[in-house]
Amino acid sequence: MNMHPSDLPKAPTRTTCPYCGVGCGVLAQPGPAGGATIAGDTEHPSNFGRLCSKGSALGETLSLDGRLLHPEIGAQRVSWDAALDATAEGFRRTLEAHGPEAIAIYLSGQLLTEDYYAANKLFKGFLGSANVDTNSRLCMSSSVAGHKRAFGADTVPGTYRDLETADLLVFVGSNAAWCHPVLYQRMLAAKAARGTKIVVIDPRGTATAEEADLHLPLAGGSDTALFCGLLVHLADEGRLDQAYVAAHTQGFDAALARAREIAPTLAATAAACDLPPADVAAFFELFATTERVVTLYSQGVNQAAQGTDKVGAILNCHLATGRIGREGMGPFSLTGQPNAMGGREVGGLANQLAAHMGFEPASIDRVRRFWDAPRMAEAEGLKAVDMFDAVARGEIKALWVMGTNPAVSMPRADAVRAALKRLDHFVVSENVASNDTLGAAPHIRLPAAAWGEKDGTVTNSERRISRQRPFLAPPGQTRPDWWAVAQVAKRLGFGEAFGWRTPGEVFREHAALSAFENEGTRDFDIGALAELDARDYDQLKPIQWPARQGAARTETRFFANGGFYTATGRANFVAVAPITPAATPDYRFPFRLNTGRIRDQWHTMTRTGKSQRLSSHLVEPFVEIHPEDAASEGLKDGGFARVTTAHGHVVLRVRAEPGQRRGSLFAPIHWNDETASHGRVGALVHAAVDPFSGQPDAKATPAAVAPLRFARQGFALTQGTLGALDPATWWAKATVPHGIGLLFATDHVVTLSEIFPDLEPGDEIVDYVDAGRGVARSAVFRDGALAACLFVAADRQENAWTFLRARLGEELTEGQVRSLLLAGRASDGAACGPLVCACHGVPKGVIETAIRAGAPDAAAVGAATKAGTNCGSCLPEIRRMLVDARALATA
């Protein structure tokens, strides 16, 4: 924990990527001048050496600028002692005056298992409050609820190997090409080797859908009907595994009867999903006739007002065919965050207790005895949406936020941010010094150790526990989150129960609890790890659970032979709720706003936003809309739209996309007040929640769009700082090589001195102004090298941006400067367009040139340009360009 720079390891450190739930192994070698060299770990069973664009760029995200390095009370830097005393005192005061309902902690799937365990133990066992929830509520909770309802436990039955040995992969509401890229590449490799068929069920044409044999662009929200139709088809075609259903399940007849009500025929199913009947028939036939099927699902399933039923409808089809827990088959919930699974294991959700136990009296008593807990929470606490509503009403008065940015990521984010300001006692544990949640003025800021510094474990989508190991000294006063929790506990009088000295000690306790009075009654059992000594913990190799003490580890799948965790040991088929007719649409909000992710940014951009490579692919917040909808709403591709819902509005760049469904909008979730002026999409999202899981529906907020025009647009690039712009200006910031970039649109005049406050007298400024056309371009040279530039015109200047974003600090030739300033274009025309390959910095223009020169496939494009040859995340886009070029050639 207190690593000194001279103790830095000489050999690369084996650790785990801090982004998605694939859980790739990383080799990190700290550099002499800070940062680190990053490579994929060839020995890690998640990735066998591969990394995606985000993982590859980790070394670019480790700088200390923007880090929170010292504890603060108010805006004053204080000692840890003072900050911890004040944190503890605030919770003590609130508890005494208002009881355990008035306190809460809001956690994150990006915490390590050890952090999560400590926080959960303190609140649920020692402060008597189950108001412990996590951003996993917004992420995995419908899968958790769906698993528990069907299996009696939150179990992911399969393994990654199944994805490679399946003959049919069905992706439901998952854009794995962008969100689980390394796993997706593994599946594509298997497809190439064995001809695996891929079906993608997503209202949008995504990068994942581009590789599919069949894409079903169903109406948003209609997945339950689709899988009910499938169950009916399987029954009618005699495709059920009667023996499995009879031996290991219950409730089949009721579930089928309900499915028949919802989707009696193929035609009815197709109508409910607004899909061509022939495509639905093709999917049903593939599923019915392929034994080895894996159905992978993610946020298009979970983040829905009927998310738990969507999960149930999918699980029904696998249970009915007995395709579960066997090689190459099963339902597979793709987890989002690096430790989404670990959070579920410790009980980080308000409706779980710990170690996959709930709030049944026997479990409460068992955990009480294990913890020797003085004040156990006796009932479930408030789930995220309810928790922040209780904050808004003033009922929760003391809140600790750790490792998440709810002022951006919660639905109705503006209301959440306003609610945070009402708290009497508001503590935030963070890596960064500034984000939208910190903008709500917490009373106490605690500086947390970040990836590369922190030490512990995470669990990936296939239940595999891997170590995150430190390879950098914790900077400033940063400390691990579990330590801060333990210190607060000590100040509240619980020093003995929180006396851990290392994360390994926390882990052992967690492992022991999983095995405590378990005897096979609970799926989550890692008792075999309860006695690891410090060295074993340090050297722990990636290991899948279950890992029961004394049991031979032969099978890591669940349920091939039943053995469910329900009272009867049988799986429950679920009769999903009847589908109620949609409420009368609100004429003010005719569109459905779907939100999600882009390839190269991670959530609220606090880390990926620091990488120039990752900030090159999609640079601005945008909204995608079908071209015909764009035309009818008066929107222009490349123009601007104001998107409004009942909860807020944003202004986004318009991308007219034929892959969008009519009536649907898609906007990415990443931009926030730190990175854009009007791009906080979370402010628009309604808080409609699933009745079982409490997970909000982030994919279907009623919305309106309207065109917005600005007199001028442009960009600025600088090695120095950016000045403040008129508040009505639309802007987005992006990290570029050696500096920062700003794209903007405005009705005001933007001057050089306003945007670059640190110009120096000796700077050489080269200008071009064409007042008639509203064009003004300036380049600032310092000691002969480009120090800043400002380009303003009536519309966007993508070519000049792509060229110049990579030229700060360089000397430009006379010819380049002339061409850029006069014509607004780089003289090298190929440099144009957005960067497609982030790893090798290859812009669209270069790839198009290679295709025009005859490159027949992605491999040839790679050979000619290097594009797509590192992580492969951009291969879908390159293949699409090839298809488009072919379509043009034959047209």
Ligand X SMILES: Nc1nc2c(c(=O)[nH]1)N[C@H]1C(S)=C(S)[C@@H](COP(=O)(O)OP(=O)(O)OC[C@H]3O[C@@H](n4cnc5c(=O)[nH]c(N)nc54)[C@H](O)[C@@H]3O)O[C@H]1N2
Pairing mode of beta strands 640-645, 701-708: antiparallel
Contact between residue 327 and residue 292 where contact means Cβ atoms under 8 Å apart: yes
Query: What is the nearest approach in angstroms of Mo ion to the Cβ of residue 334?
Result: 10
Q: Which of residues 126-145 bind ligand X (CB under 6 A)?
A: 135, 138-139
Which of 397, 469, 599, 807 forms a contact with ligand X (CB under 6 A)?
A: 599
Candidates 115-123, 180-188, 400-408, 683-691 — which segment interacts with ligand SF4 by CB under 6 A? 180-188
What residues line the site for Mo ion (CB under 5 A)? 139, 336
Tokens standing for residue 801: 């941006």
Say which residues have a Cβ less than 8 Å from residue 113's Cβ, sequence separation at least 6. 339, 342, 343, 345, 346, 456, 457, 458, 459, 465, 507, 510
Q: Provide the minimum distance between the beta carbon of 51 and ligand SF4 in the complex, in angstroms, as a whole number.
A: 4
User: What backbone torsions phi and psi does residue 39 show, to the nearest 5 degrees?
Assistant: -140, 160
Amino acid (one-letter) located at 350: A
- Give min distance, CB of 141 to Mo ion, in A: 10
Q: Which of 47, 337, 468, 865 is in the footprint of ligand SF4 by CB under 6 A?
A: 47
Number of H helices, E strands in the chain: 30, 34
186 binds ligand SF4 (CB under 6 A): no
Residue 51 binds ligand SF4, judged by CB under 6 A: yes
What phi and psi values does residue 534 have, to the nearest 5 degrees?
-55, -40
Among 181, 217, 474, 679, contact with ligand SF4 (rule: CB under 6 A): 181
Dihedral sign from CA coordinates of 147, 298, 699, 223: negative
Minimum distance, C-beta of residue 127 to ligand X, in the bound complex (Å): 19
The least distance separating Mo ion from the CB of residue 137, rounded to whole angstroms, comes to: 10
Minimum Å gap between C-beta 461 and ligand SF4 is: 10
- Cα dihedral 420, 423, 428, 433 in deg (nearest 10): 60
Of 64 and 769, which has the nearer Cβ to ligand X?
Answer: 64
* Helix spans in 50-202 (H): 53-56, 80-98, 113-121, 141-151, 160-165, 176-179, 181-194
Among 133, 223, 241, 525, binds ligand X (CB under 6 A): 223
Instruction: Verify binding: residue 335, ligand SF4, rule CB under 6 A.
Output: no
| Token pair listed for 590 | 């005719």
- 182 interface partner picked from ligand SF4, Mo ion, ligand X, none, CB below 5 to 8 A per type: ligand SF4
In angstroms, what is the minimal distance from the CB of 144 to Mo ion? 13
Q: Which is nearer to ligand SF4, 44 or 310 (CB)?
A: 44
CB atoms within 10 A of CB 324: 25
- How near is the Cβ of 818 to ligand X at its closest, in Å? 39
Query: Could you give the CA distance from residue 387 to residue 489 in angstroms, rounded to a whole number?
Result: 22
Cα 231 to Cα 358: distance, rounded to the nearest angstrom: 31
Check residue 602 for interaction with ligand X (CB under 6 A). Answer: yes
Shortest Cβ distance from residue 667 to ligand X (Å)? 8
**In the complex with ligand SF4, which residue's Cβ is closer, 17 or 705?**
17
Position 54 contacts ligand SF4 (CB under 6 A) = yes
DSSP character at residue 101: G
Stretch that binds ligand SF4, among 98-106, 175-183, 202-210, 715-723 (CB under 6 A): 175-183
Residue 24, binding choice from Mo ion, ligand SF4, ligand X, none, Cβ under 5 to 8 Å by partner class: ligand SF4
19 binds ligand SF4 (CB under 6 A): yes
Dist. CA 809–CA 803, nearest whole Å: 13
Would you say 14 or 412 has its CB closer to ligand SF4?
14
432 near ligand X (CB under 6 A): yes
Cα 314–269–586 angle (5° rounding)? 95
Tell me the β-bridge partners of 739: 736
Q: What is the DSSP string of 834-845?
A: -EEETTTTEEHH
Interface size with ligand SF4, residues (CB under 6 A): 14
The verdict on 683 binding ligand SF4 (CB under 6 A) reads no
Query: Within a 10 A sphere around the Cβ of 291, how many other Cβ atoms?
Result: 14
CB of 671 to ligand X, least distance (A): 11
Which residue's C-beta sits nearest to ligand SF4? 55
CB of 873 to ligand SF4, least distance (A): 8
**Is residue 269 near ligand X by the rule CB under 6 A?**
no
Residues 403/481, Cβ–Cβ less than 8 Å: yes
Contacting ligand SF4 (CB under 6 A), which of 28, 36, 52, 836? 52
613 binds ligand X, rule: CB under 6 A:
no
Candidates 429, 466, 645, 713; binder of ligand X (CB under 6 A) is: 429
Question: What's the CA gap between 494 and 123, in Å, rounded?
Answer: 12
Kindly state the smallest distance separating residue 15's Cβ from ligand SF4, in Å. Answer: 11
- Which of these segments, 80-88, 184-192, 426-434, 723-731, binds ligand X (CB under 6 A)? 426-434
Query: Residue 597 interacts with ligand X (CB under 6 A)?
Result: yes
The CB-of-409 to Mo ion minimum distance in angstroms stands at: 9
Asked if residue 731 binds ligand X (CB under 6 A), the reply is no
CB of 1 to ligand X, least distance (A): 14
Task: Give the footprint of ligand SF4 on residues 24-43 (CB under 6 A).
Answer: 24
Cβ proximity to Mo ion: between 669 and 804 the closer is: 669
* CA–CA dist 5, 442 (Å, integer): 32
Which residue of 55, 158, 220, 456 would you call a contact of ligand SF4, by CB under 6 A?
A: 55
**Among 336, 381, 470, 694, interactor with ligand X by CB under 6 A:** 336
Q: Could you give the CA distance from residue 247 to residue 561 in angstroms, rounded to a whole number?
A: 9
Stretch that binds ligand SF4, among 22-30, 151-159, 742-750, 848-856 (CB under 6 A): 22-30
Give me the amino acid identity at 787: A
Query: How many whole angstroms from its chain centre is CA 729?
Result: 29
What does 23 interact with, of ligand X, ligand SF4, Mo ion, none (CB < 5 to 8 A by kind)? ligand SF4
Residue 172 makes contact with ligand SF4 by CB under 6 A: no
Burial of 754 (0-12, 13-18, 19+ CB in 10 A): middle
* Helix, strand, coil share of the chain (percent; to 5): 35, 20, 45
51 near ligand X (CB under 6 A)? no
Q: Are 117 and 353 in contact (CB under 8 A)?
A: no
620 neighbors 655 (Cβ within 8 angstroms)? no
The number of beta carbons lying within 10 Å of the beta carbon of residue 769 is 13
Taking the complex as a whole, the smallest distance from the CB of residue 603 to ligand SF4 amounts, in Å, to 12
Residues 366-405 that bind ligand X (CB under 6 A): 402-405
Among 309, 481, 523, 629, the residue binding ligand X under the rule CB under 6 A is 481
- Residue found under tokens 């199944």: 162
CA dist 641 and 753 (Å) reads 29
For the bound state, the minimum distance from the C-beta of residue 835 to ligand SF4, rounded and expressed in Å, comes to: 18
SS3 of 387-456:
HHHHHHCCCCCEEEEECCCHHHHCCCHHHHHHHHCCCCEEEEEECECCCCCHHHCCCEEEEECCCCCCCE
Contact indicator for 821, 779 with CB cutoff of 8 Å:
yes
**Cβ atoms 422, 394 nearer than 8 A:** yes
Interacting span for ligand SF4 (CB under 6 A) from 16-24, 363-371, 482-490, 741-749? 16-24
> How many residues comprise the chain?
891
Q: CA angle at residue 15 from 9 to 20, to 5 degrees?
A: 150
DSSP class of residue 592?
E
Residues that bind ligand SF4 (CB under 6 A): 17, 19-20, 22-24, 47, 51-52, 54-55, 180-182
Residues that bind ligand X (CB under 6 A): 20, 108-111, 135, 138-139, 172-176, 178-179, 201-204, 206, 220-221, 223, 298-300, 303-304, 336-337, 402-406, 408-409, 429-432, 435, 448, 450, 454, 481, 594-597, 599, 601-604, 606, 669, 681-682, 685, 698-699
